[in-house]
Amino acid sequence: MKIAVLPGDGIGPEIVAEAVKVLEVLGLGLEMESAPVGGAAYEAAGHPLPEATLKLARESDAILFGAVGDWKYDTLDRPLRPEQAILGLRKALGLFANFRPAICYEQLVGASSLKPELVAGLDILIIRELTGDIYFGQPRGRRTAEDGPFPGSEEAFDTMRYSRPEIERIARVAFEAARKRNKKVTSVDKANVLETFQFWKDVVTEVHKDYPDVQLEHMYVDNAAMQLVKAPKAFDVIVTGNMFGDILSDEASMLTGSIGMLPSASLNDRKQGLYEPSHGSAPDIAGKGVANPLATILSAAMMLRFSLGQAEAADRIEAAVKAVLAQGLRTPDIWSEGTTKVGTQQMGDAVVNALR
Ligand code: NAI
Ligand code: MG
């Protein structure tokens, strides 16, 4: 089993190092090979996703990804920016199904920004379509406006689009996932305003006919944003498009205490997957040794379960994470009165010790 390890930049290398330590102590004989990506690759090779990195990713059973992006690259042409590396990997490998579980661990109920009774026991799954929507739609660009309120002025535009097969396959992923959980899917759209999402709603409704044992509800994205903070436990599986899923999953992360706790898996139809924390490269705390590595460690657990057929090892990692939280260890993002503040490496070491 071969794993491509792509740390990236910002806090990426710090958090990935901890996840690699955790994988190594399991003694599964995993073959891990690292390659630069994002800002690190731009510095080394002049491109955020060098051919050699993409080749390694293609040849691996799974990819463990850290994070990319730093404000210092914001002035580069868009194709050279670090974020193009993650978008490029998703597109090149066809990683259309993004799983973002939002679970509030018992020990972190107090760290959530919501009242304890709203988040205690929270376990929802956001499934975000990852290779379509306005993030990839063409045409896009800048031009001189021909109409609108200011003809002759400079304007920018993007294209929101989804094809039927793209919606069908992500809807199936959501219904299948719900079957293994509490059998409820909330499809989030903006059908009242956008044709793309009226189509989305229609296609999801058609696919649902094959899953009569699963309950389907439709919800507008603005209401979904509200319900997520009002009554998050009313959800089971949320399925939505690329942009709404991006935003709602960040919102959901705060229910769990910190975005530093939220893992993710992005799968293609061959079960090859890219596993990464849901957060970005956090340039504000990079290099300080304080980033929370648990989202990355939990992403490694998802990798073992989904792509490598090692469910038992995944369970062990998740139990070890719960154990260190029960010991009262907290990185600053999840720290509260009465708990012990630790850094990135200490947190990783504690998980390793719990596994031993
Ligand atoms: P971000 O997720 O990097 O950071 C948001 C806030 O959360 C910051 O205050 C940060 O310190 C904190 N945070 C994030 N991860 C944390 C962790 N593990 N432990 C403790 N605190 C953590 O999002 P932001 O600031 O919007 O973006 C920063 C850069 O990351 C940008 O260049 C952005 O484009 C990029 N980005 C990359 C992603 C990826 O690699 N998949 C995803 C999202 C953003
Ligand atoms: Mg995001």
The answer to whether 48 touches 85, Cβ cutoff 8 Å, is: yes
Shared domain check, 136 and 84 = no
The whole-number average pLDDT for the span 293-309 is 97
- Name the band, by pLDDT with cuts 50, 70 and 90, for residue 325: very high
- Read off the CATH number of the domain in which 333 is found: 3.40.718.10
- Say what percent of the chain tops pLDDT 70: 100
- Evaluate: CB of 18 within 6 angstroms of ligand 1: no
Alpha carbon of 332 to ligand 1 centroid (Å) = 15
Please tell me the distance from the alpha carbon of residue 22 to that of residue 25, in angstroms, as a whole number. Answer: 5
Confidence of residue 217 (pLDDT cuts 50, 70, 90): very high
What mean pLDDT is reported for the chain?
A: 95
On the question of pLDDT at 266 being above 90, the answer is yes
Beta-bridge partner residues of 141: 157
CA 296 to ligand 1: nearest atom = 18
Domain final residue, candidates 259, 282, 313: 259
For tokens 């210092």, name the residue: 72
Instruction: Say which DSSP state 287 is in.
Output: T
Does residue 176 sit in the same domain as residue 279?
no
Query: Which of these ranges, 106-120, 199-213, 314-328, has the smallest mean pLDDT?
Result: 106-120
Burial bucket for residue 71 (CB in 10 Å: 0-12, 13-18, 19+): exposed
E strand spans, the chain = 2-8, 31-34, 62-67, 97-103, 123-129, 141-144, 154-157, 184-189, 215-220, 237-240, 263-267, 273-277, 329-330, 340-341
Q: Could you tell me if 328 and 254 are in contact, meaning their C-beta atoms sit under 8 angstroms apart?
A: no
* 273 and 213 share one domain: no
The residue whose C-alpha atom lies closest to atom 5 belonging to ligand 1 is: 282
Let me know if residue 201 belongs to a domain. Answer: yes
What confidence score (pLDDT) does residue 250 get? 86
Examine the domain organization and report whether 125 and 148 are in the same domain. Answer: yes
Number of domains in the chain: 2
Q: Residue 341 Cα, ligand 1 centroid: separation in angstroms?
A: 21
- Which of 220, 282, 215, 274 shows the shortest CA–CA distance to 250? 282
Tell me: pLDDT of 257 over 90.
Answer: no
Both 38 and 180 in one domain: the answer is no
Same domain, 213 and 82: no
Tell me, what's the pLDDT at 254? 84
- pLDDT confidence of residue 160: 98
Do 119 and 254 reside in the same domain of the chain?
yes
* CB distance 301 to 314 below 8 Å: yes
- Ligand 1, residue 66: give the atom nearest the CA: 40
Amino acid identity for residue 248 in this structure: L
| Ligand in closest contact with the CA of 242 | 2
* Residue 112, pLDDT score: 84
Phi, psi of 33 (to 5 degrees): -130, 130
71 CA: nearest ligand 1 atom? 32
- The mean per-residue pLDDT over the stretch 280-288 comes to 96
Q: What digits encode the pLDDT tens for the residues 88-115?
A: 999 999 999 999 999 999 889 888 889 9
Domain extent for 274: 1-96+268-356
Which of 259, 291, 319 is where one domain is finished? 259
DSSP state of 48: S
Mutate to test the pocket of ligand 1, among 80, 258, 281 (most ligand atoms within 8 A of CB): 281
Question: What distance in Å separates the CA atoms of residue 13 and residue 7, rounded to the nearest whole number?
Answer: 5
In this structure, what token pair is assigned to residue 117? 């009774």
- In the chain, DSSP finds a helix count (H) and a strand count (E) of 12, 14
Is residue 115 domain-shared with residue 18, that is, in the same domain? no
Q: Are 257 and 112 in contact (CB under 8 A)?
A: yes
Rounded to two decimals, the pTM is 0.91
Arithmetic mean of pLDDT, 142-149: 95
- CA 271 to CA 258: how far, in whole Å? 28
Single-letter residue type at 81: R
Looking at the structure, tell me whether residues 244 and 129 fall in a common domain. yes
For residue 232, cis peptide bond before it (omega within 30 degrees of 0) = no
Q: For residue 83, give the ligand nearest its CA.
A: 1
**Mean pLDDT over residues 25-39, rounded?**
96
What confidence tens digit (pLDDT) does each residue in 150-167 have? 999 999 999 999 999 999
Catalytic residues: 135, 190, 222, 246, 250
Q: Are residues 110 and 239 in the same domain?
A: yes
Which protein residue has the closest C-alpha to ligand 1 atom 38? 280
Domain finish residue from 259, 289, 320: 259
Give the C-alpha separation, 129 to 197, whole Å: 13
Per-residue pLDDT tens over the stretch 342-355: 999 999 999 999 99
Same domain for 330 and 232?
Answer: no
- The tens digit of pLDDT for each residue in 221-248 reads 999 999 999 999 999 999 999 999 999 9
Percent of the chain with pLDDT over 90: 90
The confidence score (pLDDT) of residue 71 equals: 86
ipTM of the complex as predicted: 0.96
- CB 193: neighbour CB atoms within 10 A? 12
Q: Does the C-beta of 257 come closer than 6 Å to ligand 1?
A: no
Q: So what's the pLDDT on residue 300?
A: 98
* In-domain check, residue 101: no
- Domain identity same for 198 and 88: no
Q: Is 34 inside any structural domain?
A: yes
